Amino acid sequence: MRAVGLYQHLPIDKPESLIDLDLPEPDPTGRDLLIRVEAVSVNPVDTKVRAPGKPARTTPLVLGWDAAGVVKAVGPATSLFKPGDQVFYAGDISRPGSNSQYQLVDERIVGRRPRSLTAEGAAALPLASITAYEALFERLGIDLEGRSGGRSLLVIAGAGGVGSMAIQLAKIAGLSVFATASRPESTAWVKQLGADHALDHRLSLRPQLEAAGRKNVDYIFNCADTDRYWDVMADVIAPQGKICTIVENAGPLNQQLMKLKSVTHVWELMFTRSKYQTPDMIEQHKLLNRIGDWIDAGTLKGILRETLTPINAENLRKAHAKLESGTMIGKLVVKSW
């Protein structure tokens, strides 16, 4: 089968950073689905795993943790899907990724593809949806049924994939949403998705919050730089507020700033369940099905902004370069082999 992967961890402008491969087609066992991949999306995790600084490999590494496709075969212990089912999923970082014609994925982290979306539209959703949903409703404890309504959420990096989903999910829960953006097009995007206020991250956030009638926010979801925003978050979070971050810190974080306000700080990594085979892995299957239902009902909007064709090393290098440029709005998908 065709695939795209790497042997060397190189800057994305090097042709060998991602190369076309020919690999054996895998066989499903246990609760695995063998999925024929139709479209894939790129995420910061792809660029981080690919980035320089790691030793060369003797076996190829296939990246990709966002895909939509069709079930070709199933393992003997499966019960949720059958061959021919259309699915979407983010996958498992400890297994080969979706940048291949066929991929094995545990059925408990796979969802039914939204009927109203193309394969590329569906491929833009899984990782961002899972991350945002788990961050808001499981880590921060926001009530999905509206009992947190009227409280405020600051989404840092609101125009990215995860931020784009977080804005929409927070509005479903009835929150007042502030989202950071800077360029006219990213500001327009976060407002289109439902943000009540767009804040320019190049400027101090406190004056902008106060101009919008808020001294503090009840929740912060930081989808960008934990170190850079640590002091800012400590300043604008309400006493006894909650903060969720998804980007690992590079240096020590001053916990005293948070202690004085009795702030809760939690981490979100959507790969935790699959990496550790937690007993509640199937919650991601349920979560993706719920996202798909909301998409089909028009409650959520898709976040696909750009599509490249076909899936090959050249186009995935272009996708990685666009992501690393820091100008991404929504999601970029590569489709068709």
The separation between CA 200 and the C-alpha centre of its own chain, rounded to angstroms, equals 22
- Bridge partners (DSSP) listed for residue 152: 176
The model's confidence at residue 9, banded by pLDDT at 50, 70 and 90, is very high
Tell me the per-residue pLDDT of 186-200, one tens digit each, with 9 for 90 and over.
999 999 999 999 999
Range 134-267 has CATH code 3.30.420.40: no
Domain with CATH 3.90.180.10 in the chain: 2-125+272-335
Place of tokens 């125009």: 159
State what percent of residues in the chain have pLDDT above 70.
Answer: 100
Average confidence (pLDDT) over 114-120: 98
User: What pLDDT is attached to residue 23?
Assistant: 98
User: What pLDDT is attached to residue 53?
Assistant: 93
Instruction: Please tell me the distance from the alpha carbon of residue 156 to that of residue 158, in angstroms, as a whole number.
Output: 6
For residue 328, give every residue at least 6 positions away whose Cβ sits within 8 Å of its Cβ, in sequence order, or none.
159, 160, 161, 305, 322
User: What pLDDT is attached to residue 267?
Assistant: 98
Pairing of strands 32-41, 102-106: antiparallel
Q: What is the CATH number of domain 2-125+272-335?
A: 3.90.180.10
Tell me the per-residue pLDDT of 155-164, one tens digit each, with 9 for 90 and over.
999 999 999 9
Phi-psi region of 91 (alpha: psi -120 to 50; beta: other; left: phi over 0): left
Tell me the per-residue pLDDT of 133-156, one tens digit each, with 9 for 90 and over.
999 999 999 999 999 999 999 999
User: What pLDDT is attached to residue 117?
Assistant: 98
- Give yes or no for a contact between 105 and 210, defined as CB atoms under 8 angstroms apart: no
User: What pLDDT is attached to residue 161?
Assistant: 96
pTM: 0.97
The model's confidence at residue 333, banded by pLDDT at 50, 70 and 90, is very high
Place of tokens 């950073």: 17
Average confidence (pLDDT) over 299-324: 97
Mean pLDDT of the chain: 97
- Bridge partners (DSSP) listed for residue 219: 153, 242
The model's confidence at residue 55, banded by pLDDT at 50, 70 and 90, is very high
State what percent of residues in the chain have pLDDT above 90.
Answer: 98
- How far CA 52 is from CA of 9, 76, 320, in Å, comes to 5, 40, 13
- Give yes or no for a contact between 65 and 97, defined as CB atoms under 8 angstroms apart: yes
The model's confidence at residue 293, banded by pLDDT at 50, 70 and 90, is very high
Reference 101, options 336, 308, 309; nearest CA is 336
Instruction: Please tell me the distance from the alpha carbon of residue 266 to that of residue 279, in angstroms, as a whole number.
Output: 21
Determine the 3-state secondary structure of 262 from DSSP. coil
Domain with CATH 3.40.50.720 in the chain: 134-267
Structure tokens at 173: 């829960």
Q: Is the previous residue joined to 310 through a cis bond, with omega within 30 degrees of 0?
A: yes
User: What pLDDT is attached to residue 46?
Assistant: 97
CA-CA-CA-CA dihedral for 331, 74, 103, 267, to nearest 10 = 50
Instruction: Please tell me the distance from the alpha carbon of residue 34 to that of residue 256, in angstroms, as a whole number.
Output: 49
